[in-house]
Amino acid sequence: MVLYDLISRNIKVKRRTFAILGCISGLANALVLALINNVAENISDIHKENNILYYLVLFSLTIAIYGFTQQRLMTKAARMVEKAIDGLRVELFECVRHTELSTLEKIGKEKIFNTLSKELQTISQSAQLFVIIGQSISLVFFTSLYIAYHSVTAFVVLTALILLGGSIHRLRADEIQKNMQLSFESENKLIQRLSDLLEGFKEVKLSVPRAQELEHEFAMDSARAKRSKTTTQTLFATDFVLSQITFFAATGAMVFVVPVFSNVYTDVVIKVTTASLFLIGPITSIVGGIPIFTAATEAGQNVLALEKELKREQAQYSRENDEQAQISSFNEIRLAGAYYQHNRTPGDRPFFVGPVDFELKRGQITFITGGNGSGKTTFIRMLTGLYELQAGQLILDGQPLNERSLTAYRSLFTAVFADFHLFKQLYGIHNTSQQEIDEWLTFLEMNTKVAVVDGEFSTIDLSSGQRKRLALLSTILENRPVYIFDEWAADQDPIFRRKFYEQVLPRLKARGNTVIAITHDDAYFHLADVHLKMVEGQIMAHQEVETDGVLS
């Protein structure tokens, strides 16, 4: 039971409480039937003996017990499922945070969005249903007992037909599951197309062919989702009708079949027929609830699958211990024979960086140049521990790093990547004063546009160059030993570009920070202590490449 496993993982499911409440509720419901049948059968005697009030009180009491237990059951189930989902949501978020960048790239953002939002919501929506199905099963059980008490033959016929109705659904469970998986995949694609439209809105607006093709692909995926959902719903609808027919057959059997096989009196036939009719509500609830239950089970499976994928390559060590450790200084970082190869996409030539030997000394300013696609970003990700090396070693002050020390090692770095994300809130930046923030805002010429209030930028609705300045400010406030800038100055005006190279970088150096900048601004190459060049996944001294013009 995927759903039960998911729910009971973080919270203790009070099975006994649910079972007791479910039984009382089902029993009370069945008692309503028994009472009505009994009063109807003996109505003239009851009136004669003035017992009607007694039965009325009994009837009201039974309904009150049913109402109370049913309400408790539903509230408890909702609370339990929401608590479990709260835990799962946070756990999955944590899992995403701890997973490796390469794993995240492999899984894709859409699947994570879809699972964390829609799939968890599907499970949440099914909370009340679990109770209704459970209570209906209990009602069917007690009503069947009531029928068995009056006629064993009626009970056997009814049980056989209920089992037959139940097995209809089981027969097509695989087909239903396959279609649900298809619609999950189509929905992932739909999210991807939608984010293409929203994130690339400007580009889409500028190009009608692009817009048309995107719309066409979206429509195709939407049609695929529609097909698989319609097939699923059709299967469910047929199941529903078949089970209703089975149910009517069961009721019909009470009057047409049972009297043939047993010597029952008319009043017994009426009672078992009424009881059988009484089952229509719970049986409809059970059959009608199957699609939602199946969807929730499928959603649970997708949640588990995502979690497994996220954890697959996650280091098996205690996160807490690992995250407590921060490295605040170093003398030398070395990459020895470091190698990383990207996953090959069909039709693509595999790209790898390495084997690379590289040394970074504290306080140096290193510039890295290189053509497009030469591997600069990949190299930076290897150096910062964002990509786990597939061969070779990262050595910090003579100590080779292992998985345990990787998170602490990463804390040496802060970066403004080429595809940086500007956080509106200054997450994790607390060791700074308003005065320091304001000074830097003025220095970066952003003080007239933005303020930092309660640890948040007042706005990030700015030009891309200005947003980059704020990203730079965030890194400066973080004050980490090593600064990485990937083409930081590319979209700054010439005056500020000069300021970046001639004032910001020296200021960081004076503070004791080490800087690695990917840059093509040759006017400032003389400011670097070390100048390297990346060529086809190999790193070498810039001078060496420029004079030899060949790769070793």
Stretch that binds ligand ATP, among 166-174, 376-384, 450-458, 491-499 (CB under 6 A): 376-384
Return the DSSP state at 425: B
Q: Which of 189, 193, 376, 533 binds ligand ATP (CB under 6 A)?
A: 376
Question: Between the CA atoms of 206, 208, 213 and 215, what dihedral angle is there, to the nearest 10 degrees?
Answer: 80
- 356 vs 339: CA distance, rounded Å: 7
For ligand ATP, give the closer residue by CB, 294 or 374: 374
Contact pick of 153, 179, 378, 513 for ligand ATP (by CB under 6 A)? 378
Q: Are 385 and 401 in contact (CB under 8 A)?
A: yes
Smallest distance from ligand ATP to CB 185, Å: 21
The region of 187-195, 368-376, 492-500, 525-533 touching ligand ATP under the rule CB under 6 A is 368-376
Is 384 one of the binding residues for ligand ATP (CB under 6 A)? no
Residue type at position 276: S
Task: Kindly state the tokens that stand for 225.
Answer: 């989702």
Alpha helices in 384-457 (DSSP H): 403-410, 434-443
342 binds ligand ATP (CB under 6 A): yes
370 is a contact residue toward ligand ATP (CB under 6 A): yes
**CA angle at 411 for the pair 408 and 413, rounded to the nearest 5°:** 140
Segment near ligand ATP (CB under 6 A); pick from 221-229, 300-308, 321-329, 371-379: 371-379
Residue 365 pairs in a beta bridge with 515
Q: What is the residue type of 31?
A: L
Q: Is 369 in the site for ligand ATP (CB under 6 A)?
A: no
Q: Could you say which residues in the range 415-454 bind ligand ATP, by CB under 6 A?
A: 418
Q: Which of 321, 324, 343, 503 binds ligand ATP (CB under 6 A)?
A: 343
Choice between 105 and 203, CB closer to ligand ATP = 105
Q: Nearer Cβ to ligand ATP, position 138 or 378?
A: 378
Phi, psi of 277 (to 5 degrees): -65, -35
- Angstrom CA distances, 5 to 83, 88, 91, 302, 310, stand at 14, 12, 15, 13, 19
* Largest pairwise CA distance in the chain: 118
Nearer to ligand ATP by Cβ, of 418 and 462: the residue is 418
Nearer to ligand ATP, 131 or 532 (CB): 532
Q: What is the DSSP string of 218-237?
A: HHHHHHHHHHHHHHHHHHHH
Window 89-108: residues binding ligand ATP (CB under 6 A): 105
Span near ligand ATP by CB under 6 A; candidates 20-28, 374-382, 383-391, 464-472? 374-382
- Helix, coil or strand: residue 394: strand
Interface residue list for ligand ATP (CB under 6 A): 105, 342-343, 351, 370, 372-378, 418, 534
